[in-house]
């Protein structure tokens, strides 16, 4: 019997990080988030994991594990958020550090939006690197693009990875696998070409407001998608929509009167790299907007899998 290395997951959402960790060969012992439908979705897809619903601050004890992963909320750093450098949400990494010091795993992985590297947040990034190093880890960080790792989407995210210092090892980020002179980018057609063009009830079917029309939201079938977001109003366009043309500063328009629509939540999940059999359960917590939210908040599983697989073999 093969004994798999173990992981604990915090700020888990519906499980994009954990789907990647599981494919990388780990057994996830515990997961956690505050969003009820995130738990519903996670448990429907990974019933073997113990999922704690609620604030991580209320968790008093964590199971021992080989790996700790976390994707603490990013609204304060995000281009789509309020971008408040002093927002209290920006300090949830302290809860991750508390778990890190309690568990003392062999390694950890953190994911967050790439905006964390901007100059007005540099002090927060530096503090994270310091407290993780002070906890006894050799720490590295890098911004990765999901499209370079087999995801049908342009999505740049920062990863912070640490290996416990007593191993004397330094983490090396995975080599890019998709792009020029490599494997071809995974395209929108590759990811969702088998799905119906007009899945009624699964996409946000409302008008396109002025802000939506302030930029080009469309990519063709033969390209990776633009970044999948959690707000259905801002979800990128499906390629069935007309091409957009620029009329002026922050003003775009469709080139024809043909129908246009945003990606559905199921298509968004595929473009994030979730499996074709990913389950969206119908529960008391489910709604169209909530399905979009948990998908848009997730980490692309193939990207997290690549980062986890690049960890050295320190699990024995």
Residues with catalytic roles: 74
Query: Could you tell me the CA-to-CA distances from 3 to 6, 26, 74, 315 in Å, in that order?
Result: 9, 9, 34, 10
**Hey, what are 24's tokens?**
């990388």
Contact 21, 82 (CB under 8 A): no
Angstrom distance (rounded) from CA 144 to CA 109: 13
Length of the chain: 316
């Amino acid at each position: 019997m093969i004994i798999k290395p173990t992981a604990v997951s915090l700020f888990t959402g519906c499980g994009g990080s954990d789907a990647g960790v599981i494919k990388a060969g780990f057994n996830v012992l515990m997961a956690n988030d505050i969003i009820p439908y995130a738990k519903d979705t996670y448990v429907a897809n990974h019933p073997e994991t113990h999922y704690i619903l609620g604030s991580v601050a209320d968790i008093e004890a964590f199971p021992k594990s080989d790996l700790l992963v976390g994707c603490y909320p990013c609204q304060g750093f995000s281009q789509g958020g309020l971008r408040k450098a002093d927002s209290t949400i920006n300090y949830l990494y302290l809860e991750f550090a508390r778990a890190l010091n309690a568990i003392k795993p062999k390694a950890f992985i953190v994911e967050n939006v790439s905006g964390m590297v901007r100059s007005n947040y540099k002090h927060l990034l530096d503090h994270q690197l310091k407290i993780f190093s002070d906890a006894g880890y050799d720490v590295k960080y890098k911004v990765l693009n999901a499209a370079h790792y087999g995801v049908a989407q342009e999505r740049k995210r920062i990863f912070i990875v640490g290996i416990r210092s007593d191993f004397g090892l330094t983490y090396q980020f995975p080599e890019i696998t998709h792009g020029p002179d490599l494997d071809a980018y995974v395209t929108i057609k590759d990811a969702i070409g088998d799905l119906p063009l007009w899945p009624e009830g699964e996409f946000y079917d409302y008008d396109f407001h002025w802000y939506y029309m302030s930029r080009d939201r469309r990519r063709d079938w033969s390209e990776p998608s633009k970044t999948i977001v959690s707000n259905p109003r801002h979800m990128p366009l499906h390629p069935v929509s007309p091409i957009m043309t620029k009329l002026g500063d922050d003003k775009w328009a469709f080139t024809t009167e043909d129908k246009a629509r945003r990606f559905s939540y199921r298509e968004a999940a595929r473009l994030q790299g979730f499996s074709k059999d990913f389950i969206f359960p119908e529960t008391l917590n489910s709604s169209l907007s909530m399905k979009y939210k948990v998908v848009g908040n997730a980490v692309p599983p193939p990207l997290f899998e690549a980062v986890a697989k690049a960890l050295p073999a320190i699990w024995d």
